[in-house]
């Protein structure tokens, strides 16, 4: 046992899980390991069967989650050569809302032969979208019954969230519903596997299961109005005992110690969500500094001391990100996906050859060409709705728009216009927050995109008029989980007593910052006004052409 | 000298001239020859100098026009082996408005050493766009002075037309203006070279020089209000003696006979315009049947017995296409150019490889993929304004719009949406005509596109609700010129007494026809309604974003 103490963070993504082992004193990553899920995203055929899934389904196999523990934690211990005695804590973050149906002992129903062929017995992954009918009915009933909590979620509960997913199981497979003793977030289920004890975290409860510290879950009366059999779902199959981020959920149990090589008794933090856990790992534990996790989509996280109703946000939860603050979340559903779509579908062969000749990727070539332009030079404006609008319109049926093309328009023009469109979408979110009383003074970017695309960062600074900084860690979720592991352990054993302390010691920013360039910002102010007009015309009902086109499309395919 | 009689048609395009020698009895092409202009489109440097042209300039060298006569007519005589005695007539069509500045004997100013270095001494080609300031001033003055003729041209005179081009010469090079004894359409200038006599045709006079049979040219008072030096331009440098399509302009002179190998005295038809001369060559000599010349752009030609003011058309001229009818013209400025832009800028390398593997062009691959779709399936609508809108909005500052994209949108979806957009633009023109009293019962397509793209033809039929037929000739302008040559010769020598007779004998349609498919037409009715809403929103002032983007672009580049 040495002087230096370490913490393990495990980050469960959509396709794989990653463990990092970090130095608690400074957050340095000593070792890292990734394990791909054998069954990945199950959206075609149920494993080992020829049972086909409907198009909107997305399931996972919880065995893949425990396999991540069995492979990655031993790997980081071995790679680092660290004595497990010196690992003082473990934290876990997960995609959400990802729901496991389990027996009372935590055994997932899909592990049981009698349920294995029923898709509802498997894990419903965050992007399982087949519960839209239930979400629609839930939202309608909530409005009818004047449920106050709707305001906390921008007026709409998503089909991705907890109750629509559980209700879909009840609707379509009442036998599975009846057989499930527990419905539980995967984040909490994996903590259960690590500690041997069932716990529930306030982050997923708050953002995904309509729970609040003040009011708890929706009333049994409301849930019973959805379906009488749902009236007692909270007490029967969930729990009202909610633990808070920063708390210790328990300690590594004997089984988990055998799987991981960690010592029995090592502190385990309360489960967390990948986006939310990234905030302190991006150095943010106070109001005013927005964290944007930029990957396939954008997730915007901001803290405030006050409770504000902000139109069209994804939700806010007291103590939902950092204890002591209201944590607000908003999102854009198409960012990296946007650029990937463009590169796959819209970039000519001549550019592929040019990129190959220069030895760069097509993204790099497009960025280099687009970076030579001045703002406004391409004459284009786009709406960033290729995958709907998550905030502030909360409307999955919106689609894309590009305006201003001429015969002289080049691929890099459109590429830059798409980058700008996502920046305008972020500015719309920033301005909606500030107008509602939630200040946004600077932006800290993290995720896969910021390190790869400087033009993107500069455009975000120029468009939002805020300085943009970048988190130093390339693995902020795993680092954040390790930080919460160190907090679960506590100062007495070499950890920290609060996530603020852990963040101050273990998180840092890159030296490179992107300040708004005044001449650029002036042009983007004008272009943003055009974006706003188009946003309101096509997003707020003046012209519902996007929805009518979807209806025509559906009719033509039927 | 044989029994069979022949006629020669010479078609002057933008990059080359073509001659055909056709059998007068049935229009069969016996021989064909093309000659590329040595100086092509002069838009960079004045030939033989290092004098640079401004961006909007487009000039030509009239020597290239006579070279076409010297190469192509002997070539078709030689290839066919026809005795020149059996060639009874010659017709010529030209791009318009293409203006030659000449001395009183027809010598172009640019042939004279003292003027050769002045760009204004060269031919201003139809697509010379540098006279926009003069066009703007002319339109404003015409409105101020309540000039009735504005109605004949959809309310606006184009910068491409005769008086703006001549006025630009006066504005920028008054010495060239003073030295020019004649300003004359290239169509008439080449007839002058063939016959030795200056004539002027009513087609270019009517469509391009604001002339009408009833009212003649704009008054000297109006022209003097533009610039006092222009007050007498018609009498000094033009002519009020206008000949009509179908008339004989004169006969082949000795010089032209030496150039061409044709006999002195062979009948020469009055000059014509490439688009207009195509109409009888596409079998149309009566009202109700719209000819669409589909190439880089669309040109719509329709006849009526009555005079109607139709909003936003390019113009109408009594006897301007076929004697006895008002000839109406409308246009779309971006059709083939649209698809070419898309293929050059927006089709990924994977499609290039797929096309190569199948041994087809990218256009063919995209057409094949797009043809598998049902109308409405792609969920997209576009506005066809990548190069502005010629009819019915008459606004060069409009730009493109594409709406409805998702992450599942494929290149063939956008390709099909662009085809449909041009069809919606044509329907807008068709409906504007019919609403104004000019009936459109069927469509005859000609030009480069129809034979190459069956999907395009079917979509035009489905969208417009009109049967679409295709002219049999692949060279309708040259054939049409040969027909007018046969009419200039007259029945007495084996030709025809009217273009109607010539068309009936010499023009034909392909067997293949495209009838509207009712289920498709029903879907397109819905999609067209969306097009109309977007058309009016962005084209009629409700949202002038396209113009503001152009202004922002101009400011960013200044």
**Residue-wise pLDDT tens for chain B (558 aa)?**
678 999 999 999 999 999 999 999 999 999 999 999 999 999 999 999 999 999 889 999 999 999 999 999 999 999 999 999 999 999 999 999 999 999 999 999 999 999 999 999 999 999 998 999 999 999 999 999 999 999 999 888 999 999 999 999 999 999 999 999 999 999 999 999 999 999 999 999 999 999 999 999 999 999 999 999 999 999 999 999 999 999 999 999 999 999 999 999 999 999 999 999 999 999 999 999 999 999 989 999 999 999 998 888 889 999 999 999 999 999 998 999 999 999 999 999 999 999 999 999 999 999 999 999 999 999 999 999 999 998 999 888 899 999 999 999 999 999 999 999 999 999 999 999 999 999 999 999 999 899 889 999 999 999 999 999 999 999 999 999 999 999 999 999 999 999 999 999 999 999 999 999 999 999 999 999 999 999 999 999 999 999 999 999 999 988
Using the Cα atoms of residue B548, residue B549, residue B550 and residue B553 in order, give the sign of their dihedral. positive
Per-chain mean pLDDT for chain B: 96
d(CA B22, CA A121): 79
Is the CB of B407 less than 8 angstroms away from the CB of A399? no
pLDDT for residue A174: 98
Q: In terms of Cα–Cα distance, which of B126, B241, B231 is closest to B170?
A: B231
Q: In terms of Cα–Cα distance, which of A507, A484, A351, A514 is closest to A423?
A: A514
Q: Which of A142-156, A253-267, A526-540, B19-33 has the lowest mean pLDDT?
A: A142-156
Residue B372 DSSP class: T
Residue B348, SS3 per DSSP: strand
Q: How near does any CA of chain B get to the CA of A273, in Å? A: 26
Give tens-digit pLDDT for A300-313.
Answer: 999 999 999 888 88
- Chain B CB contacts of A338 below 8 Å: 407
Q: Binning pLDDT at 50, 70 and 90, where does residue A1 land?
A: low
Q: Are B281 and B480 in contact (CB under 8 A)?
A: yes
* Residue A14 CB partners (closer than 8 Å, separation 6+): A41, A95, A125, A126, A127
Is the CB of A405 less than 8 angstroms away from the CB of B403? no
- Interface probe for A, chosen from B334, B379, B526 (most Cβ of A below 10 Å), is B379
pLDDT for residue B312: 84
- Chain A CB contacts of B556 below 8 Å: 374-377, 523
Give tens-digit pLDDT for B414-459.
Answer: 999 999 999 999 999 999 999 999 999 999 999 989 988 999 999 9
pLDDT for residue B558: 85
Is the CB of B530 less than 8 angstroms away from the CB of A545? yes
Q: How near does any CA of chain A get to the CA of B101, in Å? A: 32
CB atoms closer than 10 angstroms to residue B178: 12
Is the CB of A557 less than 8 angstroms away from the CB of B377? yes
CB atoms closer than 10 angstroms to residue A390: 27
Q: Are A184 and A198 in contact (CB under 8 A)?
A: yes
**Partner residues linked to B20 by β-bridges:** B9, B32
Is the CB of A376 less than 8 angstroms away from the CB of B410? no
CA-based nearest residue in chain B for residue A519 = B556
Tokens at B498, concatenated: 């009217």
| Burial of B337 from C-beta contacts in 10 A (0-12 / 13-18 / 19+) | middle
Q: Which of B337, B386, B530 sits opposite A549 (nearest CB)?
A: B530
Q: In terms of Cα–Cα distance, which of B68, B42, B21, B59 is closest to B193?
A: B68
**Partner residues linked to B31 by β-bridges:** B21
Q: Are B278 and B501 in contact (CB under 8 A)?
A: no
Q: Which of B410, B534, B548 sits opposite A345 (nearest CB)?
A: B410
Residue B99, SS3 per DSSP: strand
- Interface probe for B, chosen from A55, A342, A354, A405 (most Cβ of B below 10 Å), is A405
CB atoms closer than 10 angstroms to residue B51: 11
Is the CB of B545 less than 8 angstroms away from the CB of A556? no
Q: In terms of Cα–Cα distance, which of B429, B421, B347, B436 is closest to B387?
A: B421
* Residue A511 CB partners (closer than 8 Å, separation 6+): none
pLDDT for residue A2: 76
Tokens at B428, concatenated: 């807008």
Q: pLDDT > 70: what percent of chain A?
A: 100
Tokens at B378, concatenated: 């792609």
Q: Are B380 and B409 in contact (CB under 8 A)?
A: yes
Residue A88, SS3 per DSSP: strand
Q: Are B177 and B99 in contact (CB under 8 A)?
A: no
- Interface probe for B, chosen from A297, A349, A380 (most Cβ of B below 10 Å), is A349
Give tens-digit pLDDT for A249-291.
Answer: 999 999 999 999 999 999 999 999 999 999 999 999 999 999 9
Q: Are B278 and B406 in contact (CB under 8 A)?
A: no
Q: How near does any CA of chain B get to the CA of A525, in Å? A: 11
d(CA B293, CA B279): 9
User: Does residue B156 or residue A86 have the better pLDDT?
Assistant: A86
- Chain A CB contacts of B347 below 8 Å: 348-349
Tokens at A550, concatenated: 């979807």
* Residue A465 CB partners (closer than 8 Å, separation 6+): A516, A521
Is the CB of B552 less than 8 angstroms away from the CB of A345? no
Give tens-digit pLDDT for B322-346.
Answer: 999 999 999 998 999 999 999 999 9
Is the CB of B400 less than 8 angstroms away from the CB of A406? yes
Using the Cα atoms of residue B390, residue B395, residue B398 and residue B404 in order, give the sign of their dihedral. negative
Is the CB of A352 less than 8 angstroms away from the CB of B347? no
* Residue B420 CB partners (closer than 8 Å, separation 6+): B381, B382, B459, B463, B524, B527
- Chain B CB contacts of A558 below 8 Å: none
Is the CB of B549 less than 8 angstroms away from the CB of A379? yes
Tokens at B450, concatenated: 């129809």
pLDDT for residue A451: 87
Q: Which of B337, B348, B534 sits opposite A344 (nearest CB)?
A: B348
Helix axes A411-435, A454-464, angle to 10 degrees: 40
pLDDT for residue B1: 66
Q: In terms of Cα–Cα distance, which of A221, A210, A226, A96 is closest to A153?
A: A210
d(CA B391, CA A101): 62
**Strand runs (DSSP E) across A24-155, as ranges?**
29-36, 59-60, 87-94, 99-102, 123-124
* Residue A473 CB partners (closer than 8 Å, separation 6+): A27, A29, A281, A282, A446, A479, A507, A508
Residue A514, SS3 per DSSP: strand
Q: pLDDT > 90: what percent of chain A?
A: 94
Is the CB of A386 less than 8 angstroms away from the CB of B407? yes
**Which ipTM score applies to this complex?**
0.92
Is the CB of B557 less than 8 angstroms away from the CB of A374? yes
**Partner residues linked to B543 by β-bridges:** none
d(CA B420, CA A94): 46
Q: How near does any CA of chain A get to the CA of B414, in Å? A: 10
Q: In terms of Cα–Cα distance, which of A270, A474, A241, A520 is closest to A373?
A: A520
Over residues A511-520, the mean pLDDT reads 97
Give ∠ CA A242-A133-B404 in degrees, rounded to 5.
Answer: 110
CB atoms closer than 10 angstroms to residue B550: 18
Give tens-digit pLDDT for A7-50.
Answer: 999 999 999 999 999 999 999 999 999 999 999 999 999 999 99
Give tens-digit pLDDT for A391-441.
Answer: 999 888 899 999 999 999 999 999 999 999 999 999 999 999 999 999 999
Size of interface A-B (CB pairs under 8 A): 172
Q: In terms of Cα–Cα distance, which of A209, A110, A197 is closest to A166?
A: A209
CA-based nearest residue in chain B for residue A377 = B553
Per-chain mean pLDDT for chain A: 96
Q: How near does any CA of chain B get to the CA of A60, in Å? A: 23
Is the CB of A377 less than 8 angstroms away from the CB of B557? yes
Q: How near does any CA of chain B get to the CA of A56, in Å? A: 14
DSSP secondary structure string for all residues of B385-409: -BTBB-SSS-BTT--EEEEEE-TT-
* 3-state helix/strand/coil string of B483-507: HHHHHHHCHHHCCCCCHHHHHHHHC
Q: What is the pTM of this model?
A: 0.93
């Amino acid at each position: 046992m040495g002087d230096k103490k370490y913490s393990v963070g495990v980050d469960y993504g959509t396709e794989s899980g990653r463990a990092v082992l970090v130095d608690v004193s400074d957050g340095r990553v000593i070792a890292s390991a990734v394990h791909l899920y054998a069954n990945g995203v199950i959206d075609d055929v149920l494993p080992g069967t020829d049972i086909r899934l409907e198009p909107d389904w997305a399931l996972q196999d919880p065995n893949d989650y425990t396999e991540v523990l069995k492979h990655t934690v031993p790997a980081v211990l071995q790679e680092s050569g660290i004595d497990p005695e010196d690992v003082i804590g473990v934290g876990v973050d997960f995609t959400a809302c990802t729901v496991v149906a389990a027996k009372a002992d935590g055994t997932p129903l899909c592990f049981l032969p009698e349920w294995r062929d029923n898709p509802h017995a498997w894990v419903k992954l965050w992007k399982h979208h087949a519960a839209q009918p239930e979400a629609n009915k839930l939202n309608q009933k909530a409005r009818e019954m004047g449920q106050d909590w709707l305001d906390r979620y921008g007026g709409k509960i998503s089909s991705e969230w907890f109750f629509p997913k559980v209700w879909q199981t009840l609707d379509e497979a009442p036998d599975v519903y009846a057989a499930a003793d527990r419905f539980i977030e995967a984040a909490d289920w994996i903590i259960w596997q690590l500690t041997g004890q069932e716990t529930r975290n306030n982050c997923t409860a708050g953002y995904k299961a309509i729970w609040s510290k003040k009011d708890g879950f929706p009333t049994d009366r409301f849930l019973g109005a959805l379906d009488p059999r749902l009236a007692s779902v909270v007490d029967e199959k969930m729990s009202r005992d909610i633990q808070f981020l920063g708390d210790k959920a328990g300690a590594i149990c004997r089984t988990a110690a055998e799987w991981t090589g960690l010592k029995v008794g090592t502190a385990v933090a309360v489960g967390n969500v990948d986006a939310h856990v990234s905030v302190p790992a991006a150095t943010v534990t106070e109001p005013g500094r927005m964290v944007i996790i930029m990957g396939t989509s954008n997730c915007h996280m901001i803290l405030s001391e006050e409770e504000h109703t902000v139109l069209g946000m994804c939700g806010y939860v007291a103590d939902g990100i950092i204890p002591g603050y209201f944590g607000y979340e908003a999102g854009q559903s198409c960012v990296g996906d946007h650029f990937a779509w463009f590169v796959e579908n819209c970039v000519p062969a001549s550019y592929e050859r040019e990129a190959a000749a220069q030895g760069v990727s097509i993204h790099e070539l497009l960025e280099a060409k687009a970076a030579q332009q001045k703002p406004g030079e391409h004459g284009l404006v786009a709406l960033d709705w290729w995958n709907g609008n998550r905030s502030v319109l909360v409307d999955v049926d919106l689609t894309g728009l590009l305006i201003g093309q001429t015969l002289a328009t080049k691929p890099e023009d459109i590429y830059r216009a798409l980058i700008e469109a996502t920046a305008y979408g972020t500015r719309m979110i920033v301005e909606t927050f500030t107008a509602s009383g939630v200040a946004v003074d600077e932006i800290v970017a993290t995720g896969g995109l910021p390190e790869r695309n400087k033009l993107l960062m500069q455009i975000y600074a120029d468009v939002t008029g805020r300085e943009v900084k970048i988190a130093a860690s390339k693995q902020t979720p795993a680092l954040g989980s390790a930080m919460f592991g160190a907090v679960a352990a506590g100062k007495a054993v070499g950890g920290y007593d609060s996530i603020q302390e852990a963040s101050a010691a273990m998180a840092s920013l890159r030296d490179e910052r992107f300040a708004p360039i005044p001449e650029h910002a002036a042009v983007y102010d004008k272009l943003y006004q055009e974006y706003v007009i188009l946003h309101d015309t096509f997003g707020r009902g003046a012209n519902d052409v996007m929805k009518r086109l979807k209806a025509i499309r559906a009719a033509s395919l039927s």
